Amino acid sequence: MPVAVPTQPAQLPAGLSASADGTQRCAWCQASPQYQHYHDHEWGFPVTDERRLFEKICLEGFQAGLSWLTILNKREAFRAGFAQFDAEQVAQFGEADITRLLADSGIVRHRGKIASTINNAQRVLELRREFGSFAAYVWRFEPSARQRPARITHDIVRAMPSTPESTALSKDLKKRGWSFVGPTTMYAFMQAMGLVCDHLEGCATREAALAARQQLQVPR
């Protein structure tokens, strides 16, 4: 009687991994359940909410030089320390708040990044006066479909630490007085808030993120 040979799973494309139930995801999210939840429900999904946008751009600035998992683990402490990322409140922070935050072990205690967050909150208020909302300003930098690769693969994402659009966003924000908004940081922000969808082809979350974008009414 022939011996049954176990079926070997097909090799996944680079950048993808499969969970026990066979669900394929971008491989970077397998590092922890928290990463996976962020990947499945947040990363790449379009955002227009003012607080969430301000939070995302601030946390990307804090992440520079650190892992994103470190930031996720400290996220609730960041929210508590920065008034739930209400830009109007953060814009009023002063030296006493910087001292308070530097003593908060729950966040990344970096004076420059803390001061930058307060400065950038003030700049958000200026953008709201000019464009009606921070969201309306940011969504002006969405790449058109013809500017994006037809298929998002691991090699393509690895080759795009920044893009012409993230460079343009970075340059314009710096001109307006923002800090910690370099082109690579701004591309990570664009990925996080769904201005681009970099879930790889074959990732189970990709279609949901793209569908959410199709249903979104872009703020003007």
Instruction: Output 103-109 pairs: Cβ under 8 A, ≥24 positions apart.
Output: 104/77, 106/74, 106/76, 106/77, 106/78, 106/80, 106/81, 107/62, 107/74, 107/77, 107/78, 107/81, 108/62, 108/66, 108/70, 108/71, 108/74
* pLDDT score at 6: 41
Alpha helix (H) residue ranges in 132-197 = 134-138, 154-158, 164-175, 183-192
Respond yes or no: is residue 38 known to be catalytic: yes
Task: Classify 100 as helix, strand or coil.
Answer: helix
The pLDDT tens digits of the residues spanning 152-209 come to 888 888 877 899 999 999 999 999 999 999 999 999 999 999 999 999 999 999 999 9
Six-digit token pair at 139? 């969504």
Given the residues 35, 60, 137, 139, the one annotated as active site: 60
**Contact predicate 28/192, CB 8 Å:** no
The torsion of the CA quartet 149, 38, 32, 183, rounded to 10 degrees, works out to 50
Catalytic choice (28, 42, 68, 142): 68
Please give the model's pTM, rounded to 2 decimal places.
0.91
* 137 is an active site residue: no
Q: pLDDT tens, 42-88?
A: 999 999 999 999 999 999 999 988 999 999 999 999 999 999 999 99
Choose, from 28, 38, 42, 142, the residue flagged as catalytic: 38
Separation between Cα atoms, residue 54 and residue 128, nearest integer Å: 12
Is 35 a catalytic site residue? no
Convert the pLDDT of each residue in 3-26 to its tens digit: 343 443 568 888 999 988 889 999
One-letter identity of residue 205: T
